[in-house]
Every structure is written in C-alpha cells, then in structure tokens.
Amino acid sequence: MKYQPLNPDIFIQNRKRFVEKMEKNAISIFNSNDELPTNGDQLHRFKQNADLYWLTGIEQEDSMLILFPDNPDVKYREVLVLVRPDEMKEKWNGHLFRAHEGQAVSGIKTIIWLDSLDAMLQPWIHFADTIYLNTNENDRKANLVPVRDYRYAEMIKQRFPLHQYKRSAKIMKELRAVKTPLEIEVLQKAIDITDITFRRVMQLIKPGIMEYEIEAEIYHSFLSQRATGPGYGSIIASGDRARTLHYVENNRECKDGELILMDFGADYGGYNADLSRTVPVNGKFGRRQKTVYNACLHLHHYAASILKPGISIVDYTEKIGDEATVVFQKIGLLRKSDIKNEDPENRAYRKYLYHGISHHLGIDVHDLGTRTAPVKAGMVFTIEPGIYIEEEQMGIRIENNFWITRNGNKDLMKNIPITVEEIEAYMKK
C-alpha cells in the first residue's frame, strides 16, 4: 500500500457494529475477491472485497474473516485468515502479511493460515445455528460473473444443508451507509488530495492541451501524495464530450472557447473522493457559459439546503426536479408549454439533466445505501447536478461530497474553488 497505515480502531468499530446485528449463536464468513485474469498469464490489479476491507482493512488476496461471537472458545470469536507466507511466491509477487502485521492493520488478535482453516471451521459451524454468508447487494450491480462469494455460498450450503442461512449483505448495506468519524477522517484525506490535484490541474489547462495530459497530471498528483490512485476512471471531457456522462476516452484536444468537465477523485486508504468541476479552457467563462454555470451552481446549493436527515433520495430528487424546472425556464431551456405538457414519468427538465443528483460515497464510489429509506445522520452523499445542452454543445456538472449531520450536512469539499470568480482567479495565477 502507498498510503500511511490507518488507525485499526476504524475496523474494530466496524466489526463491533456488525456483530451487534447478528443473531444469537451465529457465525459470519467473509471472503476476499478473486484475482481476475486479463490475458495470458496476466492479472488485473487486485481490488479487495469492499465488505471484507470495511471489516478488516486487509487488502491481500485469499484473505477471510470469521466472526462467531458465541464460539465456546473465546480465542476464536474473531479470526483473520491469511495466506501462509511462502518464500518462492514472495520472490515473484512480493511480501505477504505475517501474523503480527495482520494484527496491526486489523486489530484482530487471532490469525490463522488459510491452509489450516478447513479443519477448524467445521467444528465452529457445528456449534452454530445460523451461518451468515456474503454477496454483492449493491443496487447498481450489473455483473453476472459467479465470483468467489457466490461459489463459496453454494459450497457451504452443500456441506451444511440443515443450518439456517442469513444474508450479511443486508446488515452491511445498513451499516456501511453510515460512516463513523474515523472513516470520515480517511475520506477527508482523499478529498484533500483531490483538492490539491484540482488546483494543480487548473494551472495546467490552456487551449491546445490534450485531455490525456490532464488525466496524466491527475494520476501523477494522486500518487505523489500517497494515494492508491484514482478511485474510478477519470472523466476529462472538453467541449461537447461533456454531455457523455461516463466519457473516459480522454483523447481530444481542448480548444479555446470550450468548457472542460472533469470528474475525478483520489482513493486513499480504501476510501474515495468524488469531485466534478467544469472550467473554461482559456481561463475565462463566456457570458452564456457563466449563465448556465451559475444556474447549475444554484441547483447545487439548493440540493445542499434540503439534503438532511428524514428525506429520502427519491423525494429529494423530485424536489430538485421542481427547482430545475424553474431554473431551466429562466435560462431559456424550457418554455411554459414544455412544462404544461410534460410526461410525469419523463419530466421536461430531464432533457437537460438526465442523471441522479446524489449517490452514497465511501469505500465504493457508488457506495452501499438505499434510495427509498430516510436519509440518516452519518451518511455521505455526493451532490452533483448537471446541465447538458446538445444545441449549444455544452455540458456542466458541479459535484461536492457531503457528510450528513443531525441538523443538516457538512460540505467536505467546502475549500475547493467552485464559483465562477474563484475558478477564473485561480486559473489566472
């Protein structure tokens, strides 16, 4: 890992929260992600299972966590499973955790090696009445590959068919959505790295620069600050490319008079920042560009004013749609007839704002959480309204990250330039 060691209390607290939700005399088993092949003998960069990481802080492949708070043997109520260090494997692929290193990262005292797990796990399961198994229940999931969690669940059910089975994902969705203050400290570090990077990039941008040159500076800045790298594929979209929400080609020239929409965020300690800014390539907003940008900024501030405990994301999005309808009429995008004749299922404003306004943020960029239940204190959301105008070949998005508090929210990106005046002044330096 490139980042500094995290406080293991993060993961100790997270495990305590999970165990409190478990049924009596139940055992929970969590697996690491697969190592996935590319071609030949190459592998994709390993990315740890988010739930296992949230509970342990361990990023090493072939790791496991066993939680059995009612185990008669107190020593094995909390067990971290690691691959036994192997000299030849380390010569090829690098250092593997020793027991004391796994203890230091996770705060778990009992470490066992993977090759000795099977004989120990069987009697533990025989003591238990219920087995919690984990699967990916992120509502945005679109991957049908039978990954390790699903293969493991099938195997365990065949071996122990008479136990009661529960979904740990149901608990994880509830818990991971609400961040502890210790988690926010790590997320803030990712945000601060992203802030510094945005300021560097603004001073680099000028007519003639290529989108990939900006992306390269982002990556360089992240790594130089000990981030793992980008939390997701950076979007560097100049001109009309900004209307493509997940534009990642980043291969065009940025031209004088265009705007450039940038959506990027650092991954630090497993937590991800998510920033969007739209700036003028030549450092100065045109009159119409400024009008549309300020309209988008108004929607951003309006969203921040209503995102607080008690509201659901569905209701919140509908309210922002009402405000967008008014704003879009003021800046000439909608007519009264468009609003009068709109389809309630596809409202008129959706022509110019065709994505959601907020999503949960944390270990996953699109983190676990629900859209329909009331927002709770401790949750972290993006706020990212956009305005995309095909006729004007213009796309603008403004995104900050907000931590929900008891009475409202806290803008974790409040120090990052956001107004027309702040951006122009910084780009002029």
CATH assignment at residue 402: 3.90.230.10
Task: State how far the Cα of 59 lies from the Cα of 61, in Å rounded to an integer.
Answer: 7
Instruction: Name 305's Cβ contacts closer than 8 Å, sequence gap at least 6.
Output: none
Task: State how far the Cα of 321 lies from the Cα of 313, in Å rounded to an integer.
Answer: 12
Instruction: Name 122's Cβ contacts closer than 8 Å, sequence gap at least 6.
Output: none
Eight-class DSSP state of 13: H
- The answer to whether residues 70 and 163 belong to one domain is yes
Judged against a pLDDT cut of 80, whether residue 170 lies above it is answered with: yes
The distance of Cα 124 from the centroid of its chain, to the nearest Å, equals 34
- In this prediction, residues 93-110 reach a mean pLDDT of 96
- In this prediction, residues 143-169 reach a mean pLDDT of 94
Is 3 a domain residue?
no
Eight-class DSSP state of 226: T
Eight-class DSSP state of 392: G
- The answer to whether residues 148 and 50 belong to one domain is yes
Judged against a pLDDT cut of 80, whether residue 185 lies above it is answered with: yes
Range of the domain at 26: 9-175
- The answer to whether residues 170 and 214 belong to one domain is no
Total structural domains in the chain? 2
The mean pLDDT value of the chain amounts to 96
Judged against a pLDDT cut of 80, whether residue 141 lies above it is answered with: no
Eight-class DSSP state of 210: B
Question: Among 129, 151, 175, which residue terminates a domain?
Answer: 175
Judged against a pLDDT cut of 80, whether residue 142 lies above it is answered with: no
Q: What are phi and psi of 315, to 5 degrees?
A: -65, -40
- In this prediction, residues 116-137 reach a mean pLDDT of 96
C-alpha torsion angle, residues 20, 22, 23, 29 (rounded to 10): -150
pLDDT tier at 140, thresholds 50, 70, 90: confident
Query: What pLDDT does residue 107 have?
Result: 98
- The answer to whether residues 314 and 202 belong to one domain is yes
Judged against a pLDDT cut of 80, whether residue 143 lies above it is answered with: no
- The answer to whether residues 77 and 112 belong to one domain is yes
- The answer to whether residues 343 and 214 belong to one domain is yes
Eight-class DSSP state of 379: B
Decide: 363 and 271 in contact? Cβ < 8 Å. Answer: yes
What is the per-residue pLDDT across 245-291, written as a single tens digit (0 to 9) for each? 999 999 999 999 999 999 999 999 999 999 999 999 999 999 999 99
Cα→Cα distances 229→95, 226, 266, 315, 359, Å: 20, 8, 6, 35, 21
Cα→Cα distances 90→32, 80, 87, 95, Å: 19, 20, 5, 5
Helix (H, G, I), strand (E, B) or coil at 83: coil
- The answer to whether residues 171 and 211 belong to one domain is no
3-state secondary structure 314-369: HHHHHHHHHHHHHHHHHCCCCCHHHHHCCECCECHHHHCCCCCCCCECCCCCCCCC
Interior angle at CA 271, CA 267 and CA 277, nearest 5 = 60
Eight-class DSSP state of 7: P
What is the per-residue pLDDT across 63-90, written as a single tens digit (0 to 9) for each? 999 999 999 999 999 999 999 999 998 9
What is the per-residue pLDDT across 286-325, written as a single tens digit (0 to 9) for each? 999 999 999 999 999 999 999 999 999 999 999 999 999 9
Query: What pLDDT does residue 256 have?
Result: 98
- The answer to whether residues 243 and 313 belong to one domain is yes
pLDDT tier at 139, thresholds 50, 70, 90: confident
pLDDT tier at 145, thresholds 50, 70, 90: confident
Question: Among 125, 143, 175, which residue terminates a domain?
Answer: 175
Query: What pLDDT does residue 138 have?
Result: 83
- The answer to whether residues 350 and 205 belong to one domain is yes
Judged against a pLDDT cut of 80, whether residue 395 lies above it is answered with: yes
**Paired tokens of 282:** 């030549």
Helices (H), 164-210: 168-176, 181-204
Cα→Cα distances 295→217, 283, 327, 423, Å: 29, 19, 7, 16
pLDDT tier at 1, thresholds 50, 70, 90: confident
Decide: 352 and 320 in contact? Cβ < 8 Å. Answer: no
Judged against a pLDDT cut of 90, whether residue 146 lies above it is answered with: no
What is the per-residue pLDDT across 188-243, written as a single tens digit (0 to 9) for each? 999 999 999 999 999 999 999 999 999 999 999 999 999 999 999 999 999 999 99
What is the per-residue pLDDT across 361-393, written as a single tens digit (0 to 9) for each? 999 999 999 889 999 999 999 999 999 999 999
Q: What are phi and psi of 142, to 5 degrees?
A: -135, 5
Question: Among 112, 146, 175, which residue terminates a domain?
Answer: 175
Task: State how far the Cα of 399 lies from the Cα of 401, in Å rounded to an integer.
Answer: 7
Is 392 a domain residue?
yes
User: In 3-state terms, the chain is what percent helix, strand and coil (to 5)?
Assistant: 40, 20, 40
pTM above 0.75, yes or no: yes
Is 2 a domain residue?
no
- The answer to whether residues 111 and 45 belong to one domain is yes
- Among positive and negative, which fits the CA dihedral 426, 227, 274, 240? positive
- The answer to whether residues 259 and 137 belong to one domain is no
Is 413 a domain residue?
yes
Is 4 a domain residue?
no
Decide: 383 and 400 in contact? Cβ < 8 Å. Answer: yes
Strands laid side by side in the 130-133 sheet: 110-113, 78-82, 64-67, 26-31, 130-133, 164-167
- The answer to whether residues 361 and 218 belong to one domain is yes
What is the per-residue pLDDT across 26-49, written as a single tens digit (0 to 9) for each? 999 999 999 988 998 888 889 999
